């Protein structure tokens, strides 16, 4: 398919980092601590890199199934004081779908955290540089405490204590599904027009209307949620096709590939009991 991989990169899952105090000098040594996990997904290590202002978290899957999404609770402390706290979520479902499309392996879980894998994620710390925190010795340690709050598994199982994050993840998956359905409906509705420029133009007008719709919030029913990345990617792809010399042929390929990708998403969500 000519479109770029659908990224839900999960901006809607990554909650804002809250800096509660200034970080001490970048030369301050950082020690790490992995807290007990609330799920079967284990924290192998968590390290703060002051030079890049990021936290590298290694997650180990010691089960016999794959992890398709996870949520973390991260707290950075020094001398008993909290420097920062964040809740962070990542959904790997698109990586699984992209891998299946490229390899033609419909049962592959490549892209997820498979059994025996150690998955490393680099998470922005957003800790401001500044003087040593009051009461913290310059030679003192910084500790990173990480707990896995949520894990979604390949068999449809859900583990975790943060029910709000679980709902966000599940709703986000449905929002991508519904957005793809809208794109396909617009492509199909314009299919009767012989002029390809008119067809693409009509689809773009429909997409613009969806994108400009009232903002979604916590009260929006899951059945009405649409993933904006899917819609914006479709706009970019159709705009490029519209200006190409062989727009008709490219539109046929794009439509067929988009429909196939949508069916893979439907089948994957159904296999995990969510569709």
Residue 1 has pLDDT above 80, yes or no: no
Predicted pLDDT at 26: 33
Residues 174 and 221 placed together within one structural domain of the fold:
yes
Predicted pLDDT at 140: 55
Query: Which tokens is 26 given?
Result: 């970048």
pLDDT classification of 130: cutoffs 50, 70, 90: low
In the numeric block, the tokens 């008993």 are attached to 80
**Phi, psi (rounded to 5 degrees) for 34:** -95, 120
Query: Which tokens is 2 given?
Result: 């000519």
CATH of the domain at 62: 2.60.40
In a domain, 150, yes or no: yes
Predicted pLDDT at 32: 47
Select the more confidently predicted residue: 19 or 5. 5
Residue 269 has pLDDT above 80, yes or no: yes
Predicted pLDDT at 52: 86
Contact 48, 30 (CB under 8 A): yes
Residue 258 has pLDDT above 90, yes or no: yes
Give mean pLDDT, residues 238-248.
96
Residues 143 and 181 placed together within one structural domain of the fold:
no
Residues 187 and 86 placed together within one structural domain of the fold:
no
CA distance linking residue 152 with residue 274, whole number of Å: 12
CA distance linking residue 32 with residue 244, whole number of Å: 53
Domain termination site, one of 136, 160, 184: 160
Predicted pLDDT at 11: 38
Domain that holds residue 149: 18-160
**Which has the minimum average pLDDT: 31-35, 46-50, 94-98?**
31-35
Select the more confidently predicted residue: 124 or 258. 258
Query: Which tokens is 121 given?
Result: 């994620």
Give Cα 130 distance to the centre of its chain.
Answer: 31
């Amino acid at each position: 398919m000519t479109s770029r991989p659908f990224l839900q990169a999960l901006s809607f899952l990554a909650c804002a980092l809250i800096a509660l105090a200034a970080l001490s000098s970048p030369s301050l040594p950082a020690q790490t601590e992995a807290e007990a996990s609330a799920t079967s997904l284990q924290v192998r290590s968590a390290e703060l890199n002051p030079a890049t202002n990021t936290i590298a978290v290694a997650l180990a899957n010691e089960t016999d199934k794959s992890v398709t999404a996870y949520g973390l609770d991260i707290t950075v402390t020094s001398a008993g004081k909290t420097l920062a706290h964040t809740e962070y979520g990542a959904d790997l479902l698109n990586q699984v779908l992209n891998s299946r499309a490229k390899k033609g392996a419909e049962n592959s879980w490549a892209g997820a955290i498979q059994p025996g894998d150690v998955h490393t994620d680099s998470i922005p710390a957003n800790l401001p540089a500044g003087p040593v925190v009051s009461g913290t010795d310059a030679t003192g340690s910084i500790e990173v405490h990480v707990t896995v709050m949520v894990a979604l598994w390949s068999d449809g199982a859900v583990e975790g204590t943060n029910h709000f994050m679980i709902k966000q993840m599940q709703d986000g998956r449905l929002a991508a599904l519904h957005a793809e359905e809208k794109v396909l409906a617009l492509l199909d509705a314009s299919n009767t027009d012989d002029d390809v420029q008119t067809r693409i133009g009509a689809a773009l007008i429909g997409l613009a209307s969806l994108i400009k719709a009232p903002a979604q919030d916590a009260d929006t029913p899951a059945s009405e949620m649409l993933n904006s990345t899917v819609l914006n990617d479709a706009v970019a792809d159709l705009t490029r096709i519209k200006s190409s010399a062989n727009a008709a042929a490219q539109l046929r390929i794009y439509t067929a590939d988009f429909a196939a990708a949508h069916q893979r998403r439907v089948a994957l969500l159904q296999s995990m009991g969510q569709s």
